[in-house]
Amino acid sequence: MDTDQSKPLHVLIVEDYNLSAQYMSQALKLCNCRSIQIAESGEQAVEMARSQGPFDVVFVDLLMKGMGGIACISVLKSMQWSGYIVAMSANEDLRMSAMAAGADKFLHKLDHPVRDIVAIVNAVRTK
């Protein structure tokens, strides 16, 4: 994989709360991402992964209406997903379930400052 820190990435944010999605999007713009897509549900994320993928990084909110984040992660993994999946929740109790479903990292929603998002994206670039 290209290790250039300026390598643009294709990123998907799966978040049903618009303010959180916009926060993530703004943080990712600081990271030279090629494109930043937003899905408002797990179902929409799966469809976008099929039609617009592959995404290099997917940030998935775990608590959403309809298909939740854990189910979304499981479906992405069943599609032979090779991108990096970051599960996000304010509920620390969901960490183990998210990791068991196939998430590569858990980000506590109340503690994810821009520097953490930037660090995740830069780590993906070096893989």
Q: Residue-wise over 64-86: b if at least 16 C-beta within 10 A, else e?
A: beebbbbbbbbbbeeeebebbbb
Q: What is the pLDDT of residue 100?
A: 98
Q: Please report, for the chain, the start and end positions of each structural domain, with discontinuous segments joined by +.
A: 10-125
Q: What is the pLDDT of residue 82?
A: 84
Q: What is the pLDDT of residue 5?
A: 55
Low-confidence stretches of the chain (pLDDT < 70) are: 1-6, 112
Q: What is the pLDDT of residue 86?
A: 96
Predicted confidence (pLDDT) per residue in 55-74, tens digit: 999 999 999 999 999 999 99
Predicted confidence (pLDDT) per residue in 4-15, tens digit: 556 789 999 999
Give, to the nearest 10 degrees, the angle between helix 69-78 and helix 42-52.
30
Q: What is the pLDDT of residue 6?
A: 67
Q: What is the pLDDT of residue 49?
A: 94
Helix H or strand E segment including 51:
helix 42-52
Q: Which of 3.40.190.10, 3.65.10.10, 3.30.360.10, 3.40.50.2300 is the CATH number of 10-125? A: 3.40.50.2300
d(CA 84, CA 105): 8
